[in-house]
Amino acid sequence: MKIKDILSANKPSLSFEVFPPKTETVFDSVKAATEEIAKLRPSFMSVTYGAGGGTSKYTLDIAKNIKELYGVPTLAHLTCVSSTKESVRQKINEIKAAGITNVMALRGDIPPALEGADRSGWDYRHAVDLIYELKAADPDFCIGAACYPEIHPESPNQKEDIRYLREKVDAGADFLTTQMFFDNNLLYNFLYKIREAGITVPVIPGIMPIANANQVQRAIKLSGSFMPQRFKSLVDKFGSDPAGMKQAVIAYATDQIIDLYANGINNVHVYSMNKPDVAARIHSNLSDILGK
Ligand code: FAD
């Protein structure tokens, strides 16, 4: 099933992101965790892709398994930075052979060793190049792309970031998924600006319930997300109490999601961090709203 068709249904729904294992040794435990999340019957599940090939080999294994065992539609992520045309085309063929029709087209982060390097000879410089490649390989692919309510860290300003976002949509992105954010007003402002810029495709907000205080600091540093005082207080109070922190973060994420639904956004994507218990508790908090 195409994600764009799921998004056109006029009712609240929830989807989850999982990431593949980094090594063979943890493959079975990661697979089991993703299966537990699939049992919640989310509207779809996305499976991330290790830029530079780190965990790329397992993205399709996990996505195919969820789809075949539980019938949950899957979205396979794919990155292109520092990849050759040959390797990307091979990956696209593998995605097609696995029967996956939804692809999240990403640039990926620039590996530290290549920062500042001359990019003129690279086969792919931006996600838009990958979107063109996917469309050429199969016009029937349903394509997602990333967007940043708080601006991509490399962008000089939001106007330019939105100009390039529009390029991705014009190239064929059917929907956009946001970077995590902790203040819904940032999303509402962003939506206003992109609609004004002529971007009309559905935007799926990404919510991250990070239940570990150290991970919160790291994730926020990497993404550049703004931490509202309400969230800071929660980390200050419960950061050293793992069970309390988990409960508080689940409540915070649930509150954010309900506000998004209440403001007319139907599908929300939860970065599950491969934690079935966190996914299940958020899902359960929303059970009546989701009608399950
Ligand atoms: P781009 O769209 O190429 O944008 C990157 C920067 O370049 C932006 O500043 C943009 O404004 C600018 N830009 C875009 N097009 C042009 C152009 N034509 N000319 C000049 N400048 C331009 N990473 C992974 O490695 N694996 C994953 O699975 C993964 N999943 C993600 C899922 C989501 C929802 C999000 C939000 C991010 C994800 N990432 C993932 C991280 C992502 O790869 C990084 O944020 C990366 O730095 C940018 O990727 P992008 O696709 O947004 O790049």
pLDDT tens-place values along the chain, 292 residues long: 999 999 998 899 999 999 999 889 999 999 999 999 999 999 999 999 985 445 678 999 999 999 999 999 999 999 999 899 999 999 999 999 999 999 999 999 888 888 888 888 899 999 999 999 999 999 999 999 999 999 999 999 999 999 999 999 999 999 999 999 999 999 999 999 999 999 999 999 999 999 888 888 888 888 889 999 999 999 999 999 999 999 999 999 999 999 999 999 999 999 999 999 999 999 999 999 999 6
86 in active site: no
- Yes or no: say if 77 and 47 are a contact pair by the CB < 8 Å rule: yes
- Measured from CB, residues less than 6 Å from any atom of ligand 1 are 48-49, 51, 77, 79, 106-109, 126-128, 146, 152, 154-155, 161, 164, 167-168, 177, 179, 206
- The per-residue pLDDT for 168 is 98
- The per-residue pLDDT for 254 is 98
Mutate to test the pocket of ligand 1, among 106, 170, 203 (most ligand atoms within 8 A of CB): 106
Reduced DSSP (H G I as helix, E B as strand, rest coil) percent helix, strand, coil of the chain, to 5: 50, 15, 35
Q: What is the pTM of this model?
A: 0.97
Provide the CB-side half-sphere exposure for 153 (13 A, CA).
Answer: 11
For residue 68, report the distance from its CA to the centre of ligand 1, in Å: 29
Mutate to test the pocket of ligand 1, among 107, 168, 203, 274 (most ligand atoms within 8 A of CB): 107
Can you say how many angstroms the Cα of residue 103 is from the centroid of all Cα atoms in its chain? 11
List of residues 6+ apart from 84 with CB closer than 8 A: 123
Supply the angle between the helices 127-137 and 85-97 in degrees, to the nearest 10. Answer: 50
For residue 186, report the distance from its CA to the centre of ligand 1, in Å: 19
For residue 168, report the distance from its CA to the centre of ligand 1, in Å: 11
- The per-residue pLDDT for 111 is 83
For residue 50, report the distance from its CA to the centre of ligand 1, in Å: 13
- The per-residue pLDDT for 54 is 52
- Write down the catalytic residue from 17, 86, 115, 160: 17
- Amino acid code (one letter) for 228: P
For ligand 1, atom 24: residue with the closest CA: 108
Mutate to test the pocket of ligand 1, among 152, 267, 271 (most ligand atoms within 8 A of CB): 152
